[in-house]
Structure 1
Amino acid sequence: MSQDDRVESKRAPEPVGHYPHARRVGNLLFLSGVGPRERGSKKIPGVELDGEGNIVSYDIETQCHAVFRNVRYILEEAGSSWDRLVDVTVYLTNMKADFPTYNRLWAEYFQDNPPCRTTLEISRLPTPIAIELKCIATLGD
């Protein structure tokens, strides 16, 4: 693979490690894990942190809207689109509390032809967020 296969978004939040936002392989686009952070800052929509960076409270609905927006940014800048998503792995840090809201929003965002989906509960993510998406989409015909 070459550097030309890499996608670096100008609108999505910067990766928290040494990896691209996405890579093109044939007519597929593989996104790295995408969270709800805002580009150019450490601000996480819907999250209140204490002075040590621990989560005091969070709003999963706000985080879902933000993470879906960030995924859309990467897809569009790579030459794909929301309706070209074919597989999504979702990581939630609190399945019991957050799954109903997340599942309702998923149905709103994917009213027609939703992608395949796997949802997992994990104990934590690299930043103080409650949701992260790992996606595969197709590119233009």
Structure 2
Amino acid sequence: MSAVKHSSRAPAPVGLYPHARKVGNLLFLSGVGPRKKDSKEIPGVTLDDNGNIATYDIAEQCHSVFSNVRAILEDAGSSWDRLVDVTVFLTNMKDDFKTYNEIYAKYFRDNQPCRTTVEVLSLPTPIGIELKCIATID
């Protein structure tokens, strides 16, 4: 049996999917980006007149995406320390990996889930990072 979970504190999904789904004692999060709730604002991103990324700050995006993940976990009945697997999608591994990795290490100092980091050409919205997570849940 599975249960769909939605967070009232995270930005709405950009498509027809839930924030998370509970299956047994596992909670699977859909891809989570750094957007702000109830806004199209993306922390650390400045768009040009055509909607393309003009400038971005990967550090600000990292802090925001981790905050969104935490909100979804907590609203679903899990928590940050129950994360067991994190897949990270970066759009610029060459320039952003070092900063992202340093910030990641601070957030995951006590809990160290398995992690995979991959570079992708782009993401559905003008962001530089997205996380896909699995956590345990009662």
For the aligned pair, the TM-score class normalised by the smaller chain equals: over 0.9
Equivalent residue in structure 2 for 1:126, among 107, 124, 127: 124
Query: After TM superposition, what 4+ stretches of structure 1 lie above 2 angstroms from structure 2?
Result: none
Match of 1:92 in 2: 90
In the superposition, the TM-score normalised over structure 2's length comes to: 0.98
Q: CA offset at residue 52 of structure 1?
A: 1.4
Q: CA offset at residue 112 of structure 1?
A: 1.7
CA distance in 2, matches of 1:8, 1:128: 23
CA distance in 2, matches of 1:49, 1:38: 15
Equivalent residue in structure 2 for 1:102, among 75, 90, 100: 100
Equivalent residue in structure 2 for 1:77, among 60, 67, 75: 75
Q: Tell me, which stretches of 5 or more residues in structure 1 are unaligned?
A: none
Equivalent residue in structure 2 for 1:48, among 42, 46, 49: 46
Q: How many residues matched? A: 138
CA distance in 1, matches of 2:31, 2:111: 22
CA distance in 2, matches of 1:27, 1:11: 23
CA distance in 1, matches of 2:6, 2:107: 24
CA distance in 2, matches of 1:105, 1:55: 22
- Structure 1 position 25 matched with structure 2 position 60: no
Q: CA offset at residue 113 of structure 1?
A: 3.2
Q: CA offset at residue 81 of structure 1?
A: 0.4
CA distance in 2, matches of 1:29, 1:52: 37
Q: CA offset at residue 51 of structure 1?
A: 1.4
CA distance in 1, matches of 2:117, 2:104: 11
- Structure 1 position 38 matched with structure 2 position 65: no
Q: Tell me, which stretches of 5 or more residues in structure 2 are unaligned?
A: none
In the superposition, the TM-score normalised over structure 1's length comes to: 0.96
SS of aligned partner of 1:105: helix
State the AA in 1 paired with 2:21: R
Over the matched positions of the two proteins, sequence identity in percent amounts to 72
CA-to-aligned-CA distance 1:95-127 (integer Å, 9 cap, x gap)? 010000000011100112310000000000000
